Structure 1
């Protein structure tokens, strides 16, 4: 099939590249001319394991191409994906200006029946708004459907190529046939394509992300209580995770969730609820707890240094909101570094992928010292804080740590190390939902 993907952000580029991998002819459209030129030159703008290999193969074989022209990009396309940003507005609602702007431009450009797909995470009722914006200037038949993505950063390629399920919101039989044909190579093992109406599909994405955010936040609340009652959250995680009704995933306690999806989607669903005069109390609690959880370790840092970190050097391992990505949106590390800097501390940081993105932040880039490797960040540091659970942080050379750190103290926001191991090594060790090791 001939496909167009409008928007080459995280979702759009993964979508376009993976569909090219299954043999489709894909043109990706983006208004950022510099970004398009880089992609034409084989430079991928995001870090996502496994994506670059598919990107280079499909561009080399001519199935994946890029343009800044919407008219050129959609010419002859049977399916057009809208994978555009929906940033939160000041009131928490999703901003649809990019999607509706492109929808308005699409109308006069359509030359034959086309399926237009809302791939972005959008509020309930967006498909109707997109349909109206296109119809105002269209002279041919078209369908607008909702096809939300369920991609986890760090494993997005695998998630796309082997989806648990494909959710499609449409009542059009013609559109259903196109979607069955398009997704057939990805569901050969029998995972379902679930058809529903557009509004239900739009709500499904928000419901999924909000539920996972609730699950994470619940475990963080349990962890905070564990610290007070002397229980170990890791044991509790194993104890409840083996219950098939609960499951093992998203039960790891830590310093809160971040990224591009959970924060804005929970906020947007809460806003939708208030717009329909419904008080979604769980979501309000989740947002409040998560905001506080991000800096959960800072009181322990201040306590350790006698209430004053002025002049202290804190090493930070991990800047991305999760491992295997360079995404720093709503990353807990940013919140902690801002607080430390405001209190007069010096911050030295290392992350395998995200340092450039933090360096480009106006309020942090010039104030944080970025190092070439994890051990360099420890030189003359008074303490180590772990903000992201990159695998290389799990089994470090502790002799190198001890040779560089001024104090054998670690503040671990991701529970990377075992308590007994830290105790045997003689560290002062603070983690989440577990006893402090002195």
Structure 2
């Protein structure tokens, strides 16, 4: 099939590369000429494991192309995806749909022949109706249908998620969209990926509901972690055992410094705004947002307590800055609030992240960026694990103790245990587990 994807950002690029890898002919369109030139030269603007190889392979096979010219690409396409950004709108927190609607207008001017226009951007309920209205108004003669096809990709595991999904959701109002969308995903369906057709508005709500539920699950276990610390219980055992209940499941039950990234903060806020517009407030999600925001700065207080209640004039080392491992995404990362709170307390902060330091420089210019974990730890009063990158799971604590001013580890991701750290003479602090003095 001939596929055009409007928007060569994270979702558009991953989706385009994966569709091309299935044998479809894909053109990714973006207005950013610098980005398109870079992609043509094999320079991937984001970090996502295996994506560079996938783009290179399919570009070489002439199945994946990049252009700034929308008109010709849309005219030749069987399916056109809208995969532009929908950031939180300044002032009210609603999803900013201006890029979606601009794309719809340009697509309307370029349609030739029957075309499925599918929104892959995360959009509030009813957006598909407006996209359809815009195209119909701009080009009354256009032969098209509008579908909703939300993505469920985890940063750091996006290619695996795309090729082996838990579910594929397609929202349609016109049955003519069913056959081309089924054919598009046929290679995945043969791998037992469940293809679910719903109404368009249902599909739009499913995306927000899914992310909001996962955000609530993270926030729940974080609150259980706080209670575990207070009563002397171990939240990791709590999470493991309740996760054995198939009705609950084990995923997203890892306590830590709170959720961040490009999806959960934005999508929970947008869903709350939509619900309020319909006078159906979502109290659970509103509380989830509030608790998560408070938690990030609370993690800074945990660090301050670990070094005696005062960080003024002290150096603190942070390991990991991105909101999760295997990405360079700094959007709403817990490290932003933690670093700022430590700075407000008078600390000097050194930091290391395997992939996120370039992005972090713009957000946290006051950090002392280092070339590895051990350089960050030099003369530090405490070492704080903020993001659970694999390379932080087997640190050399003998070496760390030699370079640090104080042997204190604050493990906000619980990747170590107290019994593992004790022999090195470290004071250990974690999240949701007993941490007696040694």
1:434 aligns with 2:433: yes
Deviations 1:294-323 (CA, angstroms, capped at 9, x unpaired): 122222332344433122111100001001
Contact 1:422 1:437 in 2 (8 A): no
2:213 to 201, 211, 217: 211
Equivalent residue number for residue 153 of structure 1: 155
Indicate the residue corresponding to 1:68 in structure 2: 68
2:108 alignment counterpart: 107
Alpha-carbon separation, structure 2, partners of 1:168 and 1:121: 13
What is the rounded CA distance, in whole Å, between the counterparts of 1:34 and 1:60 in structure 2?
20
Task: Encode CA deviations 1:151-210: one digit per residue, 9 max, x unaligned.
Answer: 011100000011111100003222100011000001213221100100000000011101
Query: 1:353: how far off?
Result: 0.5
Does the aligned pair in 1 maintain the 2:30–2:68 contact within 8 Å?
Answer: yes
Contact 1:104 1:133 in 2 (8 A): yes
* Residue pair 1:104, 1:136 contacting (<8 A) in 2 also: no
Structure 2 residue matching 1:4: 3-state secondary structure: strand
Q: Is 1:80 aligned with 2:80?
A: yes
Contact persistence 1:162–1:187 (CA under 8 A): no
Matches of 2:302 and 2:167, distance apart in 1: 43
Residue aligning to 2:223 = 221
Q: Distance in 2 between matches of 1:233 and 1:426?
A: 24
Of stretches 256-265 and 367-376 in structure 1, the one that deviates more from structure 2 is 367-376
1:99-178 aligned at under 5 Å gives the runs 99-138=100-139, 139-178=141-180
**2:154/2:161 contact within 8 Å kept:** yes
Q: What secondary structure, in the 3-state scheme, does the structure 1 residue paired with 2:27 have?
A: strand
C-alpha distance in structure 2 between counterparts of 1:111 and 1:75, whole Å:
5
TM-score (structure 2 length as normaliser): 0.97
1:334 is displaced (CA, Å) by 1.1
Whether contact under 8 Å (1:378, 1:405) holds in the other structure is: yes
SS in 2 for 1:35: helix
Offset of 1:291 from its aligned partner? 0.6
2:250 corresponding residue in structure 1: 248
Equivalent residue pairs, number: 435
Distance in 1, matches of 2:171 and 2:361, equals: 40
Match for residue 294 of structure 1? 296
8 Å CA contact retained: 1:233, 1:433: yes
Q: Give per-residue Cα distances to partners, 1:91-140, cap 9 Å, x unaligned.
A: 12111000001111221211111100100110000000000111112222
Is 1:410 the counterpart of 2:409? The answer is yes
Matches of 2:348 and 2:317, distance apart in 1 = 9
Q: Could you state the TM-score of these two structures normalised by the residue count of structure 1? A: 0.97
2-structure distance, mates of 1:331, 1:396: 23
Query: CA separation in 2, counterparts of 1:306 and 1:231?
Result: 23
1:256 and 1:342 mapped to 2: Cα distance?
A: 20
Distance 2:75 2:108 in 1: 13
1:12 Cα offset (Å): 0.5
| Structure 1 Cα separation of the partners of residues 422 and 297 of structure 2 | 24
Equivalent in the alignment of 1:321: 323
Q: Equivalent of 1:183, from 179, 182, 185?
A: 185
SS state at 1:265 partner = helix
CA shift digits 1:345-386 (9 cap, x unpaired): 11111011000001133xx22x11111111111111111111
Corresponding residue of 1:26: 26
User: Counterpart in 1 of 2:3?
Assistant: 3
CA contact (8 A) 2:300 2:339 kept: no
Structure 2 CA distance for aligned equivalents of residues 140 and 6 of structure 1: 18
Which secondary structure state, in structure 2, belongs to the residue aligned with residue 294 of structure 1?
A: helix
Q: Which secondary structure does the structure 1 equivalent of 2:185 belong to?
A: helix
CA distance in 1, matches of 2:300, 2:436: 17
Residue 360 of structure 1 aligns to a residue in which SS?
helix
1:61, distance to aligned residue in structure 2 (A): 1.3
Q: Distance in 1 between matches of 2:308 and 2:427?
A: 15
What's the secondary structure of 1:314's corresponding residue?
strand
| Greater Cα shift, 349-358 or 337-346 | 337-346
For the residues of structure 1 that align with 2:402 and 2:190, how far apart are their CA atoms? 54
- Unaligned runs of 5+ residues in structure 1 are none
Q: Work out whether residues 407 and 425 of structure 2, in 8 Å CA contact, stay in contact via their aligned partners in 1.
A: yes
CA distance in 1, matches of 2:109, 2:259: 42
Aligned to 2:350: 348
